[in-house]
Structure 1
Amino acid sequence: MQQDPDVIARPPEALIGDLNPQQAEAVQYRGPALLIGAGAGSGKTRVLTRRIAWILTQFGAWPSQVLAITFTNKAAAEMRERLESLIGPVASRMWVSTFHSACVRILRRDGERIGLKSGFTIYDTADCERLIKLIANDFNFDVKRYTPRSILARISDYKNNLTSAREMLAQYAPDFKPGQRGYRVGRIGNPEELYAVVYAEYQHRLAAANAVDFDDLIVRTVELLRACPDVAEYYHRKFRYILVDEYQDTNHAQYVLIRELAGVDAGGHADMGAVGAGRVGPAWITVVGDSDQSIYAFRGADIRNIQDFEQDFPNAKTIMLEQNYRSTQTILDAANAVIAHNEGRKPKRLWTAAGAGEQITAYAADTAQLEAHWIAAQIKRLHTDDGVRYSDIAVMYRANAQSRSLEEGLIQARVPYQLIGGTKFYERREVKDALAYLQAIVNPADDINMRRILNVPKRGLGARAESQVTLHAQQIGGTFWDGVAHADQIEGMTARTLNPLMRFAQMMQELREFAQEHDAKPSQIVAEVLERSGLLEELKKSQDPQDQSRVENLSQLQSVAAEYEQNTPDATLAGFLETTALVADSDQLPDESQDSGKVTLMTLHTAKGLEYPIVFLTGMEQGTFPHARAMEDTSELSEERRLAYVGITRAKRHLFVTRAAVRAQWGRSAEMMPSQFLDEIPADLIDWKRKEAGMERMRSGWRANASHDFGAHGGWNDDEFDAPSSFGGSSYGSRSSYGSGSSYGSRSTYGSGVRGSAAHAGKVTTRRAPVRQPAQPASSLKTDNHLRIEDFAVGDKVTHDKFGLGTVVDAQDKGRNSVITVDFGSSGVKRLMLRVAPIEKL
């Protein structure tokens, strides 16, 4: 096969000369299936890009034959940039994109084959929730019991499993026909029936609006490839090399998509000759990932996709990358020790040539508030005394609810910080309003966005007008826009309503004509929409100081459109809307190379893929981290341990771990025992500045020293921590309330959940139900069933109120917070806090 002449020729040594032996082997491997087990910080992006360059320069492949899939736009942009430096501008001819972006390109080209017009709208979460609310109003079911968010989570779970609405209806509500009116969903007693009906109606209305949600991008592409063999054949011939990053984060639908694009199940055998994948047989697949960093099961990610790769591809080669280029050996030893407690994982031990580095610094605070103040004091010291930039420090936590006390501590210490996870730019109301106008211009059938802008800004078209238009649209069998355009045919409509409706219709028609004339200049269209709609004028006239920042946000939207024009040769309004729709949370994270002058606060799930010189892992308590849900579920606990592994390996130079002896949840104080993950880190790796909190010291027999050690403000004074008075004299008790998040107490009630399954290619994938039972309030400090750890030994039989008969397999004496591990047979192995467990020894 002749090499593309536009590809910069690179001698082999230039591509592998600076790699370690395992990296070089992965780059050069010639075969149909390769799994690169890339440990944290092991240089996987470098290996992936070098392998692509190797395929092009040494295998003789053409750029158009390569499909490289990442999970974020930021990762795709980084990969394209690196490839351009390796092989030149020809890199732009490759498909290097996210799953969703690749699917959009496929559906724009061939989606009409399955009834999806090329101008389809991509609904974001807010649009989808609005659609569910409209369905709820029509079907009259309780949105407090069945919230739009929980219903969408269930629908997403179905789609991740490639379970269609038709299948759900056939099983639970065979008498329902999508689109029918007057169906009494309120009579349904089984929640699965309600989910099936809403799922079917939701898909029906998406189709009517020529719209898709994010999950549909994957699902509809799989549908297209399966329903249209000629389309599938086109992509089989086009993509001869498929490379997938972060493979451990793929769900079942993405797993099937890769197999369909590669033609794995289409028969034939890959040509193993000198021309690589050749012209026949399945594409050659390279996947890169780390099963120890699989932390997105709640989003549908299936760790078995990477664990079973060698079974799915019998001729697969596995190469492990274990040399770490990020962290010190002390940090890696801690991560290795924690993750080693997970069973069934492929052995891997990270190591570095960078040296041992500093010990991990640990601290036990009395309360969450005092934990936050100690962290703030340490950050202040690192910045002032050691010259560490604030932007080189990150504070990470298990759940968003923990950020409140941390923010208070940083504010008191006057430490600048940025909280990752607030309202995103494209989710802001005024930006959503402007984008809704643009979406309605491109796709008039989009009822959700058309209804959103009907009275934004206010033009005298309230709920009654919207209802009249909706009813008329149903009567004529058209879209909401059809109802607006023919408003003069609506019986009983007053001139007071009709006149603004007709003005709105005329304005939208003129904006649509303007957009068609200026399609290559989205920034001009944005400017015209902001001006003609009145959005900008309303905000400029407002006396609300907040509205000035909203004006700036709209200005920023126009700047984003202008930037898109400059960077996109074939720019269109639809293309601009597509880029805004496909922006992920992780794409909006700050650039690590820039000095923001602020400490970064974020959840551990958000932190994946990032790195910082200094990292604080907070809330290291049973019930907080690991989360309360994992206390009695071994699979959940394994994922929590992987999350701990991810958190530890975010640190490059110095890791801090902290915990609180008492944490307030649901308005009550809960006594927290130390996280088992702390026990799993070898003691010689940790420098404890304070190992026991006040009450724990007293229980340990240190009461005689209490008058000497206990500070006047209710906290223990340490050499490295001043009492709260040093932060402005505020007093912090152990009680606070959190507006959102999960329960972190030591006792919780769990529902068994509903799990769905889907068979594929000889394997069955079981999914976690996205709708979980709410955790109950945390236990109080006084909760105790008076069981003693010394009365339990390995082999003892116990009965549990929920799990039945079990056998004790481990007992850990931790005083009042002692834990026993019990094997309940079919109910699994559970870790139980002895003093609150509803058990009886036989």
Structure 2
Amino acid sequence: MDVSYLIDGLNDFQRAAVSAPEQNMLVLAGAGSGKTRVLTHRIAWLMQVEKIPTYGILAVTFTNKAAKEMRGRITDICPFQIGGMWIGTFHGIAHRLLRLHYQEANLPEQFQIIDSDDQQKMVKRIIKSLNLDEKYYPAKDMQWYINDKKDEGLRAKHIDAGYSLQDKQRLQVYQAYEEACQLAGLVDFAELLLRAHELLLNNAALLHHYQDRFKHVLVDEFQDTNKLQYAWLNLLTDRDNYLTIVGDDDQSIYGWRGADVENIQRFLKEKTNPVTIRLEQNYRSTGHILNASNKLIQNNSDRLGKELWTSGEDGEPIAIYSAFNDYDETRYVTSQIQAWEREGNKLCDCAILYRSNAQSRLFEEQFMANQLPYHIYGGQRFFDRLEIKDSIAYLRLMNNHQDDAAFERIVNKPKRKIGNTTLDKIRLCAREQGYTMWQASVFLIEEKQLSAGARSSLSGFIELVSRFKSETSELPLFQMVDHIINHSGLKAMFEAEKGEKSRSRIENLQELVSATKGFVIPEEEQEMDELTAFLAYAALESGDNQADEFEDAVQLMTMHSAKGLEFSQVFMVGVEEGMFPGQRSTEDETRLAEERRLCYVGMTRAMQKLTICHAESRRLYGQEKFHSASRFIAELPEKDIHFVRKQAQVKRMQPASIKAPVFNGESQDVQGFKLGQQVKHVKFGEGTIIAQEGSGENSRLQVHFSDVGSKWLMTAYARLEAI
């Protein structure tokens, strides 16, 4: 049989990996090196040349999408059916094993899988049944604790709680949760993997059956495996069979969720005579992008080592844009994308990558103003995010007690023991009396038509919102928002979630404070008070302006979300010390190494053009922060980069010199105003111009007001009066 079609068109190293003899093998596959093609052709080679039956191959990956793509590609290159082959995700394969052997796994035949939400609700019921205070043992926190222990392969019985009361009670919750799931025949996602591992570990005959059956186990994205996944794979291939792993230690960016890059090193140490084949020829990016990426990642130690190269052109050097501030950064990126579109290119070939979701807000604002369609990959628009909508609802209800939609959203958020029974009574009263829900609540409290507990909880909520109005009436908008986020309990509630989602929510809340500090009432709405104008703005921003998933649109996403994707033009924004890498990462070598790998992943998404942006100043958490360019930019070779604007010669007063102006940069006359000039604003009072940018109608001034701090104002609309 002629099998030359399986290796035709492959480079020497790809061909070596595909046609290797039966052995344990690491395919160290760099970004854009054709690893999926190699993996699928290797499977076809095993069937065609080595005569391994389809049922003798197990292929494992991380997402259903990747598994589906792998199956489709193998089907395309093999002239016969592959129905007997097991191809799936870790969870999918584990589920299949447990269904086939439910008795040996000590599960009922009709066991059910519960999703994350159902798991959290179950944990919450258990916390309540144990009479534990959810304030100290939040359900989300306990859910994270249970799943983390399972990912480490630890049952409750394996854990020594020590002498800490908190540790003992957390362990008590875990144990009660295990018992409840076993009784009800329920399996969560982490349990699928743990029980599948235990199934084989505790049943020698079954283990030998699958070791004899699966002559070859092949795993994609191996650098993303955790301890339990590695243990399961190692167990399954601990006989006269072989494990092939495909991965890249330089793209290990999920340490925060349990991925262990050291698993590649363990494989090399623990498997019999493993062979390593490096795929270093890149088919995606230009020479400048690859060379700079190589130099960056070489600053990490303990790498297996590889260097990407291309036979293609060097292309354009990487553009480094030094922005005056975050607004300048946003406007520059927008102008570059508009120019790209005018040249006849598709918007969907452009991606903006940022470290945290909160950074999308200014781009959304700018794109809507310029009618540029955009799509947030794997996320929501800023004003549509749950934590933002919750905060806005508090502002709305404080501003207008009769806002029923806001009332319903936050009356029990955070939890106040105002249950559905109480809410049904409020709704019924409102309908019968023609009241709003706020009015109905006051009526039911005064008439004592609710239980004592419900009256107390509802009264507490009514008093809280009323108190907010009096407490914040004299505060500027950003302080008002900050006060409500902190004193409503929202911030504490989201902090209790733990993990990456919690961090993202808190960052978004802080960005909301920044958004309100930078908010300027539009000229046509000057008669509105600041809060009402901002709420109107937020509502309009939340309108249906995001592009359809299949519409030609700019792609916005976090660098984590970008892994595995590629775009003709990429903008990496906010690449500054304190942002990327974050402050905590600079103090921890392990975290810093992972942040550098994340930067490497971001850079290698670009095919033709890469722009890296950093801003001299950025509004964070309602305050102006001054950052230096990221160390990652300093680690790029000069021959591969081009500075669009040298280190910003910003027209700004020295931050510490507001009363006695000293300038760095020459002051310019911007529509009659200069740095250091004393001015008066109709709403914010007297202040000093401390920064300026742009010219003509597009110019902006930063004014430091003694009462409300610094604000950026459009010169043409600010109606400033010189003192």
One fold, TM greater than 0.5? yes
CA deviation string 1:742-795 (max 9, x = no partner): xxxxxxxxxxxxxxxxxxxxxxxxxxxxxxxxxxxxxx9xxxxxxxxxxxxxxx
Give the Cα separation in 2 of the matches to 1:370 and 1:734.
Answer: 19
Q: Which amino acid aligns with 1:632?
A: E
2:168 to 173, 188, 193: 193
**Alignment-derived partner of residue 528 in structure 2:** none
Given that 1:396 and 1:604 are in contact with CA atoms closer than 8 Å, whether structure 2 keeps it comes out as: yes
Which residue is 2:346 aligned to? Answer: 389
Alpha carbons 2:651, 2:691 under 8 Å: kept = no
Q: In structure 1, what residue type is equivalent to 2:315?
A: G
Query: Where does 1:175-194 land on structure 2 (aligned, <5 Å)?
Result: 190-194=165-169
1:418 has 2:409 as partner: no
Residue 251, structure 1, aligned to residue 226, structure 2: yes
Q: How many percent identity over aligned positions?
A: 37
- After TM superposition, the structure 1 = structure 2 runs for residues 553-632 of structure 1, keeping only pairs within 5 Å, are 596-632=551-587
Q: How far apart in 2 are the matches of 1:139 and 1:372?
A: 51
- TM-aligned CA deviation for residue 663 of structure 1: 2.5
* Counterparts of 1:616 and 1:656, CA distance in 2: 5
Q: SS state of the match for residue 144, structure 2?
A: helix
Cα distance in 1, alignment partners of residues 87 and 569 from structure 2: 32
Q: Deviations over 1:609-633 (max 9, x none)?
A: 1111111111101111112221100
Contact 2:692 2:700 in 1 (8 A): no
- Contact 1:724/1:732 (CA < 8 Å) preserved in 2? no
Please point out which of 196, 215, 220 is paired with 1:240: 215
Change (3 A) 1:127 1:689: same
How much does 1:140 deviate?
Answer: 3.6
Q: Report the Cα distance in structure 2 between the residues aligned to 1:377 and 1:21, rounded to whole angstroms.
A: 43
* C-alpha distance in structure 2 between counterparts of 1:643 and 1:733, whole Å: 37
Native 8 Å contact 1:391 1:599 kept in 2: yes
Q: 1:236 to 1:147 in 2, by over 3 A?
A: same
Cα distance in 2 for partners of 1:104, 1:597 equals 38
**Helix, strand or coil for the counterpart of 2:101?**
helix
Report the CA distance between 1:401 and its aligned residue.
1.7
1:786 — aligned with what? none
Give the AA of the match of 2:128: N
- Show CA shifts across 1:441-487 (max 9, x none): xxxxxxxxxxxxxxxxxxxx9569xxxxxxxxxxxxxxxxxxxxxxx
SS of the residue 2:197 aligns to: helix
Structure 1 residue 697: deviation in Å? 8.1
SS at match of 1:346: coil
TM-aligned CA deviation for residue 156 of structure 1: 2.0
Instruction: Give distance in 2, aligned partners of 1:252 and 1:696.
Output: 53
For 1:707, the aligned partner's letter is Q
Q: Is the contact made by 2:61 and 2:90 (CA closer than 8 Å) also made in structure 1?
A: yes
Q: CA deviation at 1:694?
A: 4.9
User: What is aligned with 1:230?
Assistant: 205
The AA in structure 2 aligned to 1:229 is: A
Letter in 1 for 2:591: E
Deviations 1:641-666 (A, max 9, x none): 00000000001110111112222333
Moved more, 115-124 or 217-226: 115-124
What is the aligned partner in structure 2 of residue 648 from structure 1?
A: 603
Q: Higher mean Cα deviation, 219-228 or 405-414? A: 405-414
Tell me if 1:401 matches 2:366: no
Matches within 5 A, 1:453-468: none
- The whole-number CA distance in structure 1 between the counterparts of 2:150 and 2:258 is 10
Partner of 2:666: 705
- 1:92 match: secondary structure: coil
The aligned amino acid for 1:639 is E
1:36 aligns with 2:27: yes
- How much does 1:696 deviate? 8.9
Query: How many residues are matched?
Result: 530
**Residue 605 of structure 1: SS of its match in structure 2?**
coil
Distance across 1 between alignment mates of 2:115 and 2:702 = 40
- C-alpha contact (below 8 Å) 1:663/1:670 kept by paired residues: yes
> Residue 591 and residue 251 in structure 1: after superposition, are their counterparts in 2 closer, same or farther (change >3 A)?
farther
CA distance in structure 2 between the partners assigned to 1:290 and 1:245 by the alignment? 10
Whole-angstrom CA distance in 2 between matches of 1:331 and 1:709? 39
**Structure 1 pair 35/697, CA: closer, same or farther in 2 (3 Å)?**
farther
Q: Distance in 2 between matches of 1:388 and 1:734?
A: 42
Shift in alpha-carbon separation, 1:83–1:300, aligned structure 2, 3 A: same
For residues 40 and 401 of structure 1, the distance between their equivalents in structure 2, rounded to whole angstroms, comes to: 27
1:101-140 equivalences under 5 Å are: 101-140=92-131
SS in 2 for 1:670: strand
When residues 230 and 652 of structure 1 are mapped into structure 2, their CA distance, relative to the original with a 3 A threshold, is same
For residue 309 of structure 2, the aligned residue among 351, 362, 366 is: 351
Looking at structure 1, the residues matched to 637 and 703 of structure 2 have their Cα atoms a distance apart, in angstroms, of 33
Deviation sequence 1:552-573 (CA, Å, 0-9, x none): xxxxxxxxxxxxxxxxxxxxxx
The answer to which of 130-139 and 294-303 deviates more is 130-139
Q: TM-score, normalised by structure 1?
A: 0.59
Q: Which residue of 1 aligns with 2:490?
A: none
Q: Do the aligned partners of 1:694 and 1:716 also contact (CA within 8 Å) in 2?
A: no
Structure 1 position 89, deviation (Å): 4.5
- 1:87 paired residue number: 78
Alpha-carbon spacing, 1:66–1:190, altered in 2? closer, same or farther (3 Å): same
Distance of 2:547 and 2:210 partners within structure 1: 35
- Is 1:372 the counterpart of 2:327? The answer is no
Which structure 1 segments of 5+ residues have no match? Answer: 1-8, 174-188, 265-280, 430-460, 465-589, 736-779, 781-842
Q: CA RMSD in A?
A: 3.3
Shift of residue 85 of structure 1? Answer: 1.2
Q: Does 1:689 align with 2:647?
A: no
Structure 2 residue aligned with 1:739: none
Mapping of residues 735-750 of structure 1, within 5 Å: none
The offset of 1:90, in angstroms, is 1.2
- 2:193–2:228 CA contact under 8 A, matched in 1: yes
1:337 counterpart = 2:312: no
Q: Is the Cα contact below 8 Å between 1:622 and 1:673 reproduced in 2?
A: yes
Deviation at 1:18, TM superposition (A): 1.0
User: Structure 2 vs 1, CA of residues 664 and 133 (structure 1 numbering), >3 Å: closer, same or farther?
Assistant: farther
Residue of structure 1 in register with 2:267 after alignment: 309
Cα pair 2:692 2:701 within 8 Å, conserved: no
TM-superposed CA distance for 1:391, in Å, is 0.6
Post-superposition Cα deviations, 1:145-175, rounded to whole Å, max 9, x if no partner, equal 443333222222211110111122x5448xx
Instruction: Say whether the 8 Å CA contact 1:244–1:287 is kept in structure 2.
Output: yes
Q: Is the 8 A contact 1:370 1:715 kept in 2?
A: no
Matched, 1:149 2:110: no
Which whole-Å CA distance do the structure 2 matches of 1:37 and 1:348 have between them?
8
Alignment of 1:267-346 (within 5 A): 281-346=239-304
TM-score (norm 2): 0.68
Report the AA paired with residue 621 of structure 1.
E
